Amino acid sequence: MDIDPVTAPFGTVFGPKMAASRFIDGSYQPLEMVAPDDISVHPAAHVLHYGSSCFEGLKAHRQVDGSVKAFRPARHAQRLLNSAARLRLPEPEFEMVLAAINSTVEANASSTPYSPGSLYLRPVIIGTERNIGAAGRPAKEAIFYVLASPVGPYFAGGSLTLVVETDLPRTTPQFGSVKTGANYAMALGLIERAAAEYGADQVLFAPGGQVEETGASNIIVVHGDTITTPALTDGFLHGVTRESLLELAPTLGYTVDERTLALDELLSLISANGCEVLLTGTAAVVSPVGTLIHAGVHHYVAGADANMHAARLRNALVAIQTGVNEAPSDWP
Ligand SMILES: *Cc1c(COP(=O)(O)O)cnc(C)c1O
């Protein structure tokens, strides 16, 4: 490979093989290994007109023993099936999703960089039926595939600047907890505006003054030995990274406090002490927020200089992802 995937922009280099299955005549066909270029989509495909798509994002990490292993694939497989159900896309068997992830990892193992690089995996389901008259019903044909992308870190390092949005929601209520393309398109205008006005990296959605998440990451606040984070609702994405960190937190001496988090309270935590505000996600891992901009006012997160908790939580997670430490035995 000529391009170094670790320094190339995240998600622009692709592994040579992917597992794929077509849904035709009412069932998914046996998985095949194909090249990304082997998949073509007709201009009339349902997904291109009516948005019938959902996806997952997980990583496989090179282990200390040299092998390559996906992190919590069962959690991601389950979430993909939940998304497919919500989008009225045909659901593959859970075991087929796991097999597709594992065989894609195996087929691209030699293209997987060492930590902090990894093999980013994109399981995708799209409606492929060629029928522009089918606006009012689900696609009868679909493709499920697992695209692989060798990657380096998503964020360059340093701390992030977020603009808080309290008026517009990130997505519609029925799609808040699914990964579907339109959610990201909906947020683009706001992210572009935040970048143009403030040079911000992302938007933090807090509709009606209740903190939810950013465009593609969950948010946690560490103050003292407490981790506070919004409790799960249907309105935002239930991150596997968030869940994993909350499960590890007690073993690192933190108390977990999941509840509704008002923006006012977040801002007073930031002004009161050296708390840390962190974004969590498969791509972001654990990324510190340095500045929150609300109603034109900059709120600086004092703890972002030291990043003590960010480093501690990230190291604990990465040690499990790379096989330095064992995962808790009850982790699916
Ligand atoms: C994917 C995603 C996350 C993070 O989920 P992980 O499972 O931790 O990767 C958070 N918010 C949104 C909107 C996402 O799309």
Rounded to an integer, the average pLDDT of 259-275 is 92
Mutational test site, ligand 1, from 120, 217, 238, max ligand atoms within 8 Å of CB:
217
Which residues are part of the catalytic machinery? 179
Residue nearest to atom 14 of ligand 1 (CA): 216
Rounded to an integer, the average pLDDT of 276-286 is 95
CA of 246 relative to ligand 1 center, distance in Å: 15
With H, G, I as helix, E, B as strand and everything else as coil, classify residue 237.
coil
Q: How many Cβ atoms are within 10 Å of 182's Cβ, its own excluded? A: 13
The pLDDT mean for the chain works out to 95
pLDDT band at 2 (very low <50, low <70, confident <90, very high): low
Residue nearest to atom 6 of ligand 1 (CA): 239
CA of 213 relative to ligand 1 center, distance in Å: 9
CA of 236 relative to ligand 1 center, distance in Å: 9
- Please check the confidence at residue 92 and state whether its pLDDT lies above 60: yes
Rounded to an integer, the average pLDDT of 100-107 is 98
Which atom of ligand 1 lies closest to the CA of 283?
9
CA of 259 relative to ligand 1 center, distance in Å: 19
- Please check the confidence at residue 75 and state whether its pLDDT lies above 60: yes
Which atom of ligand 1 lies closest to the CA of 242?
8
What are the pLDDT digits (tens) for 203-212? 999 999 999 9
Could you tell me if the CB of 104 is within 6 A of ligand 1? no
Could you tell me if the CB of 83 is within 6 A of ligand 1? no
DSSP strands (E only) in the chain: 18-24, 27-28, 32-34, 53-55, 58-62, 68-70, 118-127, 142-151, 160-165, 202-205, 213-214, 218-223, 226-230, 255-259, 276-281, 285-294, 297-300
Could you tell me if the CB of 290 is within 6 A of ligand 1? no
284's CB contacts (< 8 A; 6+ apart) are 154, 155, 216, 217, 241
What are the pLDDT digits (tens) for 32-57? 999 999 999 999 999 999 999 999 99
pLDDT band at 332 (very low <50, low <70, confident <90, very high): confident
The answer to whether 245 and 281 have CB atoms below 8 angstroms apart is no
